[in-house]
Structure formats: structure tokens, C-alpha cells
Chain A
Amino acid sequence: MRRPLVLAALAAVALTGCAAVPEPAPTNEGTVAGTVTVFAAASLTESFQAIADAFTAEHPNVQVTFNFGGSSGLATQIVEGAPADVFAAASPATMTTVTDAGLATDPADFATNTLEIAVPTDNPGGVTGLADFANPDLAIALCAAEVPCGAAAAKALDAAGIVASVDTYEQDVRAVLTKIELGEVDAGLVYRTDVLAAGAKVKGIEFPEASGAIARYPIAALTASANPDSAAAFAAFVLSDAGQRILQKAGFGAP
């Protein structure tokens, strides 16, 4: 019974924070302290750092440390006993690895992400849509099928009935983006948030088939956490209005 009460109280704290009224001294503030270690998908790097700044502004006694990386690798690290308090994954499947191991319960979706075609700013291949991915003269990069962005890309291409002429299957979405930024490939499939994060270095092209391959991001506080109250508070903050505003500014969709 203790956990729901704490969560409700924390939600109240988060809400008062959003309303920008002077924070009343909540009775449970003492337990939201220490260090929270968050394992988060690489695509969350910028937005979660912004969320951590806002979170620690509300809870000055807490320090948030991050381990960003590919969701599958992070899930493996958690199962192998890495000292994490919160896990934010880029796919429900990688979260399942952790819940199946009994290390988290009740993950909640906190964001969605949509695939976008990314091309170098000058678009040397003249790419206009997903159909161009079948052109063998263009250099094309996709994520490998083993990682979430690759699975989503395969789904979108399948839905469109396009057999892509791929030159390289990269190990994660940021590696695809790097190849585009350097101009080594003519086009790649990345997330909308990656296009926004890359700024002027790449150009994003939306395509209709992306709606069939929307990525869902779940978050959960881990049961083995040494600091469960702060872990739950951070997860609640990501789901709160303040957290959602930061995520949506970075290009994420609502859960």
C-alpha cells in the first residue's frame, strides 16, 4: 500500500512544480534524495538531460546520472546486475527483457517516435520519398534489424512494398545519422527526434508509411533500486506535464 501513496504524493509535488507556485514543504521530500541512475535509450539523450535539469530544480537533494545506449544493450546490462534505478527503453520488447527477469513491474509508455527519411542538407540523391530507397544508384543506410529502429524501418518498407537497396545496416540510429551528416549516404531512415537533434546538418522528409511503424517508449522504476522513492519520483516526472512538454519539444509524440 505504501508505494501508491508515495506516488500520489509525488505526482502532487510534480503538479505543484508545474504550476510554478512556491513549493510547499512536502512531508516526503526527505526520501527523494541521493542519486538516481537512469538507463535510457540513446535517442533520449538530449531530452532526458533537459528533464533531469527540471527534475533536480524541483528536488535539489537529488542527483541524476545517466547511462545512454542502445535499449537492447541496456536491458542486458540491467539483467546482468548493473546498478540502475530507472529504465527508459525505445521499444516495449526491450522493456519486456527486464520485466520478464522480474526487475520491473508496470512499465508505462511515456512517448512515441515516428520514422522520417533523413538526407544530407543538399540532398545529393534528390530523394523525395520512400520509393527512392529502391534505387540501387543511391547509397542507403538503415539500422540493423537487431535494433528497434531497424525493426521499425523494415516494417515501414514492408508496408510500402518497397525492397530497399541498402548499402549498410548500422548498429544504432545515431550511426545512421552520422553517415548522413558526413554525406556518405544519400538517405537513411531515422527518428523524427534525431532529425530535430541534428539541426541544420540533415534534412528530414516525412513519409506516409511511417504511421504504420510508430515506436513506443516505456519507462519503469526498477524493483532492485537502492533508492526506490527517488526512482519512482523521476519516472513520475517524465510522465508529468512538465516532462511531457520537454519531450514534445524534442519531437516526441504523446504516448
Chain B
Amino acid sequence: MRRSFLTPALWIPAGLAIALLGLPLVALIVRAPWAQLPELLSRSEVLQALGLSLGTASIATVVSLALGIPLALVLARSADWPAVPRRLLRALVTVPLVLPPVVGGVALLLLLGRRGLIGQFLPFQIPFSTTAVVIAQVFVAMPFLVLAVESAVRASDRRFETAAATLGATRWTILRRVTLPLVAPGVSAGALLCFTRALGEFGATITFAGSFPGVTQTLPIATYLELQRDPDAAIALSLTLMVVSVAVLVTLRDRWVPGLTS
């Protein structure tokens, strides 16, 4: 067993941090209208919103994997680049994490809306469609995947790739047989984070995709609207979202970044 260097004094701020993160969720559980819960959650509009949320978040995760893993590999190898493009690329990937999602939604409208930079040339309309929900979720959630995969790539031992290359493997084979298996834990951790973030997406979605039951009204949007009319129902919806998110995140265990935890 490794010796712990944790001083007991650290437990005070750490305990405060746990309370700050955990107690609001406890309050949600305590205040939940448990008696009406089955009725509130079996309403057709709730099931519709939940189904839409799970569906769009799944598609957004698949899209993020397809686009995000290549971006993460590029980002991890950008260490050899000059400082300016390297930092610009890194900032670009990080911006959606720190930007208010509503701003992201406005930006997407200005790009893909009917009068947007690109949108004005499209023969079809993107806003107010389920496609718009997925685009908003990818915009907000993909960086989680990219950064998780990127740190996995950086932490992996590049000598395996060099060895494969000296044995005559092509670049494509190295990627498929060496690099990706090495970073697989980072990919699955990133995918789970990306999925849960997409599931909770609100600001960019309501701004870019709007809110229409069954088409664009995801569970977070239904929750927000319900809060205006029936707070108990809103608490029930929040609880559902929380249970799904926590269930997914618990499967993460300690695999947040391989190499640091193994």
C-alpha cells in the first residue's frame, strides 16, 4: 500500500466542496414529490421529452466520436507546431466549455439560420428541427470528448507507435492497431462525459433549435418550462435527468484519464 501524504487539515475545504456539490442534489431528492412521481413521469409529454433527449444525445455522441477523435489526435500532435496556431486551436476547442451556451446558440443561428452566413445558401431550414438539437449538443459537448481523448493520447507511450513503424506497419495500421487501443479508456470516458453533457444541454438548444414537443423540446427544456407552471413536476423531471446522468457517470469509475489513475 502506498503511503498517503494527505494532511487531515485538507478534509475541511474538501468537505465543504463535497457539501457544495452534493447538498443541492440532496435537496432535490428531499423536495421531490415522491407520491405523485409515477403519475408525473408517466405523462406522455415527459416520456416524449426523455426519448428525444436520449436519442439526440446518443446521435450527438456518435457524431462527436467520429469528428472528435481525429481532432484530439491532431491536437495531441500539435506540440510540434508554432505557438500561435497551436494555442489558437486549443482555445477553439476549449471555448464551448466556457462560453455561456446561449451565446453558442446565437452563434449557431448566425451561421446556420435562415439568414446565416451558410444557412442562407441551404435549400432546407435547420433551426427548429431535431438536426438543430443534435448540432447544438455536438457544439457544446464534443470538447469534453476531445480533451479527454487528447490527454489520453499525450499520456500514452509513443514508443509503441515507433516500434510498430520500425516493424513495417503503415500509418493507418498504427492508428487502428496501436494508438486507438491504447487510448480506448480515454475515448470511453470522453464519450460518457460528452453524452451526459449533451443530455443536459439547454441554452444552445433552446436558442438555436427552439422548443416544440417531440421535435426539439428536450428534457431540460421541458423542465425549465414546467418550472413556470408546476414546480413539483419540474422537480420530478430534474430528478429523472439527474438519475440518468449520475447512472452514466458512475460507470466512469476512475477512468477519467488513463495513465494518471492506473
Contact = CB atoms under 8 A, between A and B. Distances in A.
Binding partners A and B? yes
Given A73-B227, A139-B128, A167-B128, A184 B113 contact: yes
Contact of B127 (A72, A145, A171, A184): A184
B228 A70 contact: yes
A146 B213 CA distance: 13
Nearest to B211: A169
A168 B128 CA distance: 7
A170 B114 contact: no
A171 B225 contact: yes
Contacts of B207: 175
Contacts of A157: none
Interface string A131-146: 0000000010100111
A147 interface: yes
A70 B227 CA distance: 11
A196 B115 CA distance: 23
B231 interface: yes
B206 interface: yes
The size class of the interface chain A forms with chain B is: 20 to 34
A139 B109 CA distance: 15
Interface in B219-238: 221, 224-229, 231
Contacts of A76: 227, 231
B211 A147 contact: no
A182 B206 contact: no
Nearest to A141: B210
A182 B109 contact: yes
A15 interface: no
Interface in B231-262: 231
B210 A73 contact: no
B216 interface: yes
Given A175-B206, A183-B113, A169 B226 contact: no
A166 B210 CA distance: 11
A192 B24 CA distance: 40
B229 A183 contact: no
17 contacts: A72-B229, A139-B128, A141-B210, A144-B211, A146-B225, A146-B226, A146-B229, A168-B210, A169-B212, A171-B221, A171-B224, A175-B207, A182-B109, A183-B115, A184-B113, A184-B115, A184-B128
Q: What 4 pairs between A and B have smallest CB-CB spacing? A: A168-B210, A146-B228, A72-B228, A146-B229
Interface of A: 70, 72-73, 76, 139, 141, 144-147, 166-171, 175, 179, 182-184
